[in-house]
Amino acid sequence: MPRIAPLVAGDPDHLGSFRLSGRIGEGGQGIVYLGVNDEGERAAIKLLHVKFSGDTIARSRFARELKAAQRVASFCTARVIEADLDGDTPYIASEYIDGRALRDLVDADGPLTGTALDRLAIGTATALTAIHHASIIHRDFKPDNVLIAADGPRVVDFGIARIIDSTGTITSRAIGTPAYMAPEQIAGDDIGPYTDVFSWGATIAFAATGETVFEGKSIAVVLNRILNHEVDVDMMPEPLRSVVSSALAKSPAERPSADQILLRLLGQSSTAGASTAVLTKGVQLAGDDTTPFIRVSAGSITDHPSRRASAVPTHQGPSDGTGHHAAAGRQAGTGWSATGHAVTGTGTGTGAEPGTGAGHSTTGQSPATGHQRAGQQTVPPGESGPPPGEAGPPEGGGPPYPAEESAAPGRRGRAKAWAAAAIVLVLVAAAAVAAMMNGWLQLPFGGMPEPSVDSSRLTVVDKVAGTGRIVIGVRGDLPGVGLRNGDGFDGFDVDIAREVAAELGAKETKFVQVSRADRAEALEKGQVDLVVAAYSIDKGRTQFAGPYYLAHRDLLVRADSGFDTIADLKGEKVCAASSSSLGEVQEKVTVEPVPASDYAACMDLLRSGKVAAVPGEDVVLAGFAQRESMRYKILGAKLNNERYAVGIRNGDVKTCKAVKAVIADLYARGVVKRLLTSRFGRVDFEMELKVPAMETC
């Protein structure tokens, strides 16, 4: 396998905030470097070749790649960290995926089967669904662009991706890798999301057989096989066999959408689109090789009314003018909300104690591939699934793409049969949930149940799936962040907690007040499932998912004070409620401390002009300032970083990965920006609106 090559003469040593340490690879238009920033985050940095830096067409193509990658929520894809297209050396820094390409893995070790193949199919279908939800066509989906990382498969390389126009298609040129191109690409017809679906089917067939299914000694032979050859998928288990077979249909109208593929693979009804909860479940199953593969019971993800409302439809609707397509029934906003919120805890003080925070590579082995050689038995006998030729329930609204001919006779009869089957599945699902709640766990693919392990060791994801309930610890004394309000709590952290709970599938969310002193213990003892309480990532015994926000130690001043930088505060009086925050200020500039008991007392001093500034974490300061009639501003000194993350009981990797996926999606959909603006909009405050560098689960 190729390794990271050393830098050579003429290579830059820095690009943006990244220090370069080697070369990952080189293509016709650019070089990909390995870089690391000051926070230790690694990135694959694509640098446009110098010879193209003055080429407006090449720069335009590079900009299109960036735009496409930025639009896609990071479900089984590589997120963009940083980019600069305007400088002398245009570059794009993407998340570094430390894993082997699917092609290299299969070529070296043979075809995948059983659980490993299932997880690959689900992970890549999740990525493709997220890509299409962003109105992007990848156009070069192939085994080389699927990386098998420690946390599951990732789809990379948006180099020739295109944003769909108002018709839902783009005019094709024969761009792509020939053996994985769809018939319409070869013919020069319009292409759309269905084109990626065909390439996905060919990629999964390669993984299952170890052979390029449209192989040929010449381009002419390859193209002829794509147009006329039927792929043998009999070695695959259901429902994968039927899904791949339908994905490889020669006619685009006969192929399922990426949403339908994912839903069928998860055992869900494919009559609605895939919600964020479905994408999150896809990430979980694709990345978790520590537990047996369990196909999700029908209706367990998609049965919530508002989830159905927010699902992306299988048809591409008219454009809204921004490149996104209007979807009948799609609900604007942030998805569904929990149906019940309970609160507990004591204390109503609002003073608050200060200091509340306490790409890709082709190298290396991938421990999470779950790789198995053909012939190994991984799925217990008796697996049930749709009859041959059917991948799941019928698509109530017709085929996912405009059909050229009417549906075949007999479909209505099959629909009735599936409707009856759906009723049975609902009853079975209800019985399964009841069994889980009484101490029984489902075995993979419908096996006989056995007594469960200690329920206290279940992951939070498992608990929510079984009970629909979740308990979250929040602060109760920080205005705008986490504040008890009568019988409830509100604030930015509480908003984030509600979003996370809803996306995990919780129907009832109970909030419990925690403090800096007891939040870790509350997690360890199982008193709360998660903690969202201005909890900065530390080296303690808590596991963290996120961060969901990158806060900073800073200073609050009156908007009309004339203070614009920390240097302007030299010799001024500064409130000294927090010794740590004051110490960081004094490292930069000499100030006169004025003692105070808490932030509320500091605000009284600032309002009356007795102090010039209040130091602390910017979000906390903004929360206090937001409720004042006078205007305030955060100075922007950014004395250090406070990485607010979701606290999870140590060892719960499955929940950690799920929460990280939700956080990334909240940023991608603009939810975090909306919440920050609603909570702190009256304060002059440079909010952090980019997805923070994530902790490893």
Torsion of CA 270, 272, 274, 278, to 10 degrees: -70
CA distance linking residue 72 with residue 132, whole number of Å: 8
For tokens 């639009």, the residue is 71
C-beta of residue 58 within 8 angstroms of C-beta of residue 29? yes
How many CA atoms, within 13 angstroms, populate the side-chain half-sphere of residue 603?
22
Pairing of strands 477-478, 482-485: antiparallel
**Residue 688 three-state SS:** coil
In eight-state DSSP terms, residue 238 is: T
Percentage helix, strand, coil, to 5, in the chain?
35, 20, 45
As separate numbers, helices (DSSP H) first and strands (DSSP E) second, the chain gives 19, 26
CA distance linking residue 345 with residue 482, whole number of Å: 13
C-beta of residue 80 within 8 angstroms of C-beta of residue 94? yes
Would residue 140 show up in a list of annotated catalytic residues for this protein?
yes
C-beta of residue 270 within 8 angstroms of C-beta of residue 262? no
CB atoms within 10 A of CB 430: 12
C-beta of residue 378 within 8 angstroms of C-beta of residue 114? yes
Helix 671-680 vs helix 618-626: crossing angle, to nearest 10? 50
Task: Identify the CA nearest to 611 among candidates 576, 581, 575, 560.
Answer: 575
Q: Could you tell me which residues come within 8 angstroms of residue 258 by beta carbon, excluding any fewer than 6 positions away?
A: 125, 128, 129, 131, 132, 193, 196, 197, 200, 274
CA distance linking residue 670 with residue 607, whole number of Å: 33
Pairing of strands 469-474, 530-531: parallel
C-beta of residue 649 within 8 angstroms of C-beta of residue 543? yes
Name beta bridge partners: 20: 35
Task: Identify the CA nearest to 87 among candidates 15, 17, 27.
Answer: 15
Helix (H) or strand (E) holding 92: strand 91-95
CA distance linking residue 560 with residue 580, whole number of Å: 27
In eight-state DSSP terms, residue 381 is: T
Q: Which of 140, 196, 618, 665 is catalytic?
A: 140
Mind telling me the catalytic residues? 140
